[in-house]
Structure 1
Amino acid sequence: MRSKYHLFIITILCGLLLISCKDEKKSGPEMVVEPAPESHVKGTYHEIYLKEISYIKARVDSASTEGMVQIPGGTYMMGGNSDQAKENEFPRHQETVKELWVDETEVTNAQFRRFIEETGYVTTAERTFEINGKKYPPGALVFDPFNPQWWWKFVKDANWKQPEGPGSNIEGKDDYPVVQVSWYDAKAYAKWAGKRLPTEVEFEYFNRAGNDSLIYNWGNDYSLAAEHANYFQGNFPFDNWNEDSFPGLAPVKSFAPNQFGLYDTTGNVWEWCLDTYYPDAYSRQIGKEEGYFKDFISGKQEKVIRGGSFLCSEMYCTGYRTSARMSSTPDTGLQHTGFRCVKDVER
């Protein structure tokens, strides 16, 4: 019989392969993590993290909008608008977004390092798991093209400072997007920065730059993709033609911004959104009441990730499309997943 830990890892991997392995009726296992000094609490993993994040104090300059772009509000048609669109991108429906401040780039290693140094926060991937009295080592998921069954493997001690595990590092990569950060880590950073994660509705809106006819954030011509985004060209996962000049992650601002002045909203890394993921979210939204997705704080389900990554390809997820949706468990660190923050416009 598999241990609960093995089931936990398998659940993560299944989600990554677009296979739904979650059970919304069950709560998470009782577990203890190594918390920061202020948060000596017990409970589910989710409860521990939310409590700890609530203790984080906003940085001194948290009111600043430096490095952010103020985008106009607007109404647009959200959802699939191409032959590659998947079932979870329908039905197309109308959404309205308010004026918003958005980070012009994905959060970088340098920005995340400042957060860690000022708060002493310990990321998910750097903590020891304890499930039913048994401890498991820190680590995160690293892409493994030689493992066709899963493509991802759990690597001990992989984290934001060494994204591919021991022996890797981020030296000289201050301007690269931080990766191997969980949804909880992203929320913690946002709390400290005086910001928040974008909703899925907001992300698609600013990725499209308000233009709901776009299949890609640069237009509808796929032949221009390598000029505008960091993704996988070639026969996935082994034969990377490298037409975009980046076989892996790229520094932020390596490609031109979209019409709102935002960089890398497509490709490079998947980006965490605030929402809990529902495959049928758009059907649920029809006739919804204000605040329907306030259950985004649920730890029982996966969270939305958007924008695609350097591992997306025409042969697999096509995550660089403006309407493409994916998800991952909130406690998962991944080699191709980061985030950016937004801030409400104060009047």
Structure 2
Amino acid sequence: MIRNPFLILICVLTISGCENQKRSEEVKNSPSEGMVLIPGGSFIMGTSLEPKEQPVRSGAEENPPHRVILKPFYMDETEVTNLQFKTFVDDTGYKTQAERPFNQKDYPKAKPEDLLPAAFVMAPPKNNVDINTASHWTWWKLVHGADWNHPEGPKSNLEGRWNHPVVNIAYEDALAYSKWAGKRLPTEAEWEYAARGGLKEKLYPWGNELSPKGKMMANFWQGDFPNKNTNEDSYMTSSPVKSFSPNGYGLFDMGGNVWEMVVDKYERDYYARSPIESPKGGIGQSIVQKGEGPIVFQRIIRGGSFLCSEGYCTGYRVGARQLSDDISASYHTGFRCVLDIESSN
């Protein structure tokens, strides 16, 4: 939701197999409704295919593949829904980033209209464009009045979509909900481990075939992005949670539907020096120059969305990573939560 001309680059960033180990300790706490146990274990994190075998848009930031060991934890079986987020808002009176104007003191160079509440919404181009040469702004629009309760703008609403993932959520909004729910956001390693569902070094949460035997496994863009969606999965935008089969751990929509935030700050070469046990991400890279506004860090989003396609971002791959930031909100990004396991030992 950044309108300061200098800070527009932030928004570009936003838009643009496992070995289970037996638990030796007794679990003291139980998950809340709608959470599943993710067993502890180790896995190879990142994209492990040879370069010539890697799919479209896989990036250097997905390498090198490296071993990670994690303790067990609980994870929401679905993305946080509009109804769940409404319960939080009704209970707390919380206003999301997309519902609040930016402070002129924080962004002294911004025009007043650039500080108004807004979120980014995808608007298909009027004429066909080439994604290899066209700007993201050909299909992304900053819409004043777009927020979690009005996904496409002030004239839209959530009627018939209460069981869809909440979107137009900024990082601090996800943190606020997680704290209220007594949970937290997953680390990037936890998210990828859970997304793999016990499979070893596969492309997708369900295996290596995008649509095995013609079956649609996730909500993503079919056809020529951003010009035409052939809608083979029956959804033009987000879909109700649990619309597709779960992965091996019982998690839904770990590929497609909406991008999901993780807690990690982004560093391009972090995989090359990541610790083996429970990595937490790097120290982060600020993308705001001194004097231009508050410090804003690059963040990671995972899982892809209904706007990912075979010829574009392929973000529904389990190893795929996408840049985001602390303060932007867009209508293809949401989140899910995790809960630490308390042991008796």
CA RMSD of aligned residues (A): 2.3
Greater share of helix: 1
Q: 1:294 to 1:317 in 2, by over 3 A?
A: closer
- Within 5 A, what are the aligned runs for 1:251-270? 251-270=240-259
Q: How many residues matched?
A: 300
The aligned residue for residue 190 of structure 1 is 178
* Alignment deviations for residues 243-285 of structure 1 (CA, whole Å, 9 cap, x no partner): 1111111000000110100000110000000000112220131
How far apart are residue 184 of structure 1 and its match? 0.6
Whether contact under 8 Å (1:123, 1:181) holds in the other structure is: yes
Whether contact under 8 Å (2:68, 2:277) holds in the other structure is: no
CA distance in 2, matches of 1:344, 1:277: 23
Whether contact under 8 Å (1:65, 1:101) holds in the other structure is: no
Whether 1:67 and 2:34 are equivalent positions in the alignment is yes
- Within 5 A, what are the aligned runs for 1:21-170? 65-82=32-49, 83-84=54-55, 85-132=58-105, 135=112, 136-146=115-125, 148-149=134-135, 150=137, 151-170=139-158
The aligned residue for residue 203 of structure 2 is 215
The aligned residue for residue 15 of structure 1 is 13
For structure 1, the residue ranges without an aligned partner over 5 or more in a row are 19-61
For structure 2, the residue ranges without an aligned partner over 5 or more in a row are 17-28, 127-133, 287-294
Whether contact under 8 Å (2:270, 2:281) holds in the other structure is: no
SS of the aligned residue for 1:101 comes to strand
TM-score, scaled to structure 2: 0.81
Whether contact under 8 Å (1:13, 1:152) holds in the other structure is: no
Q: 1:191 to 1:308 in 2, by over 3 A?
A: same
SS of the aligned residue for 2:263 comes to strand
Q: 1:88 to 1:186 in 2, by over 3 A?
A: same
CA distance in 2, matches of 1:241, 1:331: 33
SS of the aligned residue for 1:227 comes to coil
The aligned residue for residue 177 of structure 1 is 165
SS of the aligned residue for 2:211 comes to helix
Whether contact under 8 Å (1:67, 1:104) holds in the other structure is: yes
Whether contact under 8 Å (1:160, 1:179) holds in the other structure is: yes
Q: 1:297 to 1:184 in 2, by over 3 A?
A: farther
How far apart are residue 183 of structure 1 and its match? 0.8
Q: Which amino acid in 1 is paired with 2:309? A: S
CA distance in 1, matches of 2:278, 2:240: 38
- Within 5 A, what are the aligned runs for 1:197-276? 197-224=185-212, 227-276=216-265
* Alignment deviations for residues 199-222 of structure 1 (CA, whole Å, 9 cap, x no partner): 000000000013232111111112
